[in-house]
Amino acid sequence: LGTGVAAGTTVLVTKLSGFKPDASRTEILIFLAVPLIVTTFCVVIYGVFHCTHQLRAIYDLILEGSDESPRSGRGEYTRQMDSGTLSGSGLGSPTPAQHLLQPSLGPRYESRFHLLPPSLDREATITLWLLGICLLVNRLCLMSLMPFLAFFGGPIASQDLLLSKLVGDFLGNLMSILINPRQVAKWLHRAMPPVMVTALLAMEMTIFAWMVLDPISACTKEDVLDPRLVALVIIYYLIGGFTENAASVFAGAAVPSPRRPDAIRFVAIGIYTGLSIGLVGATIAIYAHPKFLRQA
């Protein structure tokens, strides 16, 4: 979902900057609000399903149609769920509806309204909070910079910068596939994400300063970009894409197998919070100061 929203946003920005280089502030505001609305809608739908226990019902229905369907009693099924195994042995399994009506769903589901399960040890909790904050800042940086790339200089210049963004995204995701984060030393699970996010912040300030001071800005409408700026944008999104994928893997490795869904949910909250804050910040900056990007 996050990748789809980001890709759709990039395409819309490219079209808007290519065919409407002098878009009004209202058009920019509407454009930037689209991915935020889509993301908010998806989060609300997930929350409704989660709080009404429908996700558990869907999960049980899927298991019923597989070889791992729960055929044991409630106690055995709950213990198997908590241990991360579903042997499927035994008779007299309750139906999915009965699972929802039972007052106790096991330790795995007692932390429904907690960001993190209280049963996690201190080391895992600190690691997840660190990774969650890093992912929030990482996604905030990636989303907040993108609209400025789209409205910098003339249409061709902005499209070149967005192409650089896509190249960086692709290389970052490719690196996360070729380099297995699970093979990284355990101590790097905490050290690497903060270091890379700090580098991302430094690069973002450099890019912003470059856009403000470079005479290629909208004053001249020139389309020739400095290759160093293009390379910086590529490296910026390469680091951001790789950090997001690697930190998500680190979060899953920091907790026992039965708790991985909780860890994934926690880091997803950080990612979408950063996405929303980044888009809102970019919207306010562009809407309040359009001359920063488009000067007559």
**CA angle centred on 69, ends 67 and 71, rounded to 5°:** 120
Question: Global pTM?
Answer: 0.60
pLDDT band of residue 85 (cuts 50, 70, 90) is: very low
| pLDDT band, very low/low/confident/very high, at 99 (cuts 50, 70, 90) | very low
Which residues span the domain enclosing 179?
A: 117-292
Percentage of the chain modeled with pLDDT above 90: 0
Whether 288 and 191 map to the same domain: the answer is: yes
- 140 and 168 housed in the same domain: yes
Q: Which residues contact 96 (CB under 8 A, 6 or more apart)?
A: 56, 57, 60, 61, 64
Do residues 147 and 179 both lie within one domain? Answer: yes
Q: Is the pLDDT of residue 57 over 50?
A: yes
Q: Are residues 138 and 281 in the same domain?
A: yes
Give the C-alpha separation, 226 to 128, whole Å: 39
Asked whether residue 99 falls in the same domain as residue 135, the answer is no
Domain assignment of residue 191, yes or no: yes
Distances (CA, A) of 179 to 65, 105, 184, 268: 36, 38, 9, 22
Q: Report whether pLDDT(294) > 80.
A: no
Q: What domain count does the chain have?
A: 2
Q: Is pLDDT larger for residue 59 or for residue 146?
A: 146
Residue 216's φ and ψ, nearest 5 degrees, are -75, -5
CA distance linking residue 237 with residue 170, whole number of Å: 9
Residues 209 and 164 in one domain: yes
185 and 260 in a single domain? The answer is: yes
Task: Give the model confidence (pLDDT) of 131-175 as tens digits.
Answer: 888 888 988 888 888 877 877 777 777 778 878 888 888 888 788
* DSSP collapsed to 3 states, 172-211: HHHHHHHCCHHHCCCCHHHHHHHHHHHHHHHHHHHHHHHH
Domain-located, residue 135: yes
Domain shared by 161 and 87, yes or no? no
Stretch 74-103: mean pLDDT: 45
